């Protein structure tokens, strides 16, 4: 059961990275490669702590 939970978390994290990366153009962020990589990889922490990032993340997912 523990392995399934870890696998599910990895899938959710990877899906979030993928969806944000593909929808990055719909956000208000500066479109540099560094921003795109950093904001994509740090999405769980930023989503929890930053309301502005949350709004932009939702914009990116509305594709």
Model pTM score:
0.87
d(CA 53, CA 46): 6
Q: What is the distance between the alpha carbons of residues 19 and 55, in angstroms, rounded to a whole number?
A: 14
pLDDT per position as a tens digit, 13-42:
999 999 999 999 999 999 999 999 999 999
Total structural domains within the chain: 1
Task: Return d(Cα 29, Cα 35) in angstroms, integer.
Answer: 8
Give the domain extent around 56: 1-62
* 36 close to 10: Cβ distance less than 8 angstroms: no
């Amino acid at each position: 059961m523990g392995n399934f939970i870890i696998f599910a978390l990895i899938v959710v994290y990877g899906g979030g990275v993928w969806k944000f990366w593909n929808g990055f153009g719909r956000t208000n962020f500066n479109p540099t490669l560094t921003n795109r990589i950093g904001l994509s990889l740090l999405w769980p922490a930023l989503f929890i702590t930053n309301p502005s990032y949350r709004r932009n993340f939702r914009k990116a997912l509305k594709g």
